[in-house]
Chain A
Amino acid sequence: MIRDFTLTEFWVITAGLWATLLLSALAFVCGGIGGLGVALARTAPIKGLRLAAGVFIDFFQGTPMLLQLFLVFYGLPVLGIKVNVWVAAAFALTLHAGAFLGEIWRGGIQAVPLGQTEAAEALGLDYWTRMRHVVLPQALRMSFAPTVGFLVQLIKGTSLAAIIGFVELSRSGQLVSSITYKPLLAFGLVAVCYFAICYPLSRYSAQLERRLAVTR
């Protein structure tokens, strides 16, 4: 039976929007922690660490995000871990975000002038103190604009979780579209929701980039 597009359908999409926001936040925070580790490993004085982080980054930047989701979704059960779609989607997106943020912040770390590290070394600061108080604050500030840019990419990327059956914004759009048979309205509304989240962030990122370009 074809249903009308009522308030109920509207709430389905709102619930999806909420799930999208939650998934994005979770992946961004966990991915940020992982990304910090990846960035430090990629710039570490130990060759093996640098190599491992490089392979990790290359894999996630060189394969489709959809395949990464499939690999986690079908791979975790193999390792004996029972998964529901929440765990699979959050874990896959965390790995993805970790690789991309790691690469962005590596650029930031390497853009900090070498003299800063040398000065900190001359002052007798050890590796962790140097990173924590000298290098990272400058590196993260420099990579703030691309970080916000990646957040937009990540929010859009969460839509792919719909394909493994996670009910977020896109999936709720698909559901509403098939029960009301009003695909234009359903997908239009979904697109508006994404746009409302992503557009301000994109603008903010572009503005940050301009400001940084002026102060340089």
Chain B
Amino acid sequence: MTYQFHFAALLPYWPQFAQGCWLTLRLSAIAVAIGLAVGLLTVMAKRSTIAPLRWAAESYIEVIRNTPFLVQVLFIFFGLPPLGVSLSPNVAAVLALSLNLGAFSAEIIRTGIESVPRGQFEAGAALGLSPLQTFRYIVLKPALRIIYPSLAGQFVMLLLTTSIVSSISAEELTSVAQNVDSSTFRSFEVYIVTALLYLTMSTIFATVFKAIDRVCFSYPDK
């Protein structure tokens, strides 16, 4: 093996890498906020009494879950302009990520709500609580406790998925890395550093989410 590693060549680019991390985190945060809202609405639609709404929610979930994220991004970025909707790469990226998270989180939230026994809703009603109060004081916490680990895992997954929007040149860590690569020609070093940055971010978030889980949901079962 005659290859000489030159990580030093990347040192002058650290502000770009830092900026890339920040852009990735910001993109993920925005997508999580919108995606969760979309997920909640989808669950409501899926549990509604209006059949077409249920079908629409069901189709949305299945289409998103059974096609690759790359195709979803390309479809939104290249497929919508002919229909008269032109989006900038960054907006298309946020839209694609939110729609993707919406479908996955809807399934997670639904299992959480369905895990709470019917009797709990009825008990709330028997105590004279309104449906909203029943939800807030009886259903919410045990449901959250059940969905929290999967939801947290989904957020970390989203953080890693954001790398794919570099393919439509939206701004985040991987597209920054590609720029650094094309000006330094140290591809292997650039992508080692980038992978380690992602690993660091995802590990920090996984640890923080686990700590929150311990603090908030570690009360005994019965």
Contact = CB atoms under 8 A, between A and B. Distances in A.
Whether chain B is bound by chain A comes out as yes
Nearest to A72: B191
B194 A67 contact: yes
A152 B187 CA distance: 30
Nearest to B192: A71
Please indicate which of the listed interface residues B72, B199, B202, B206 has the most CB atoms of chain A within 10 Å of its own CB.
Answer: B199
A71 B72 CA distance: 24
A162 interface: yes
A1 interface: no
- A interface SS class: helix
B13 interface: no
A124 interface: no
A147 interface: no
B163 to A, nearest CB: 4
Interface range on chain A (Cβ under 8 Å from partner): 35 or more
A93 interface: no
A195 interface: yes
A64 B174 contact: yes
Contacts of B161: 64
Contacts of B70: 159-160, 162-163, 170
A80 B188 CA distance: 13
Interface in B8-31: none
- B interface SS class: helix
B199 A170 contact: no
A4 to B, nearest CB: 15
Interface stretch (B34-42, B74-82, B91-99): B74-82
Given A64-B160, A66-B164, A157 B66 contact: no
Contacts of A80: 1-2
A74 B194 contact: no
Interface string A53-95: 0000011001111111011001100111000000000000000
A105 B2 CA distance: 38
A67 B174 contact: yes
Contact of A63 (B72, B82, B83, B202): B202
Contacts of A170: 68, 70-71, 74
Closest 4 pairs between A and B when the two form their complex, measured CB to CB: A159-B68, A64-B163, A198-B66, A183-B78
Interface of A: 58-59, 62-68, 70-71, 74-75, 78-80, 152, 156-160, 162-163, 170, 173-174, 177, 182-184, 187-188, 190-191, 194-195, 198-199, 202
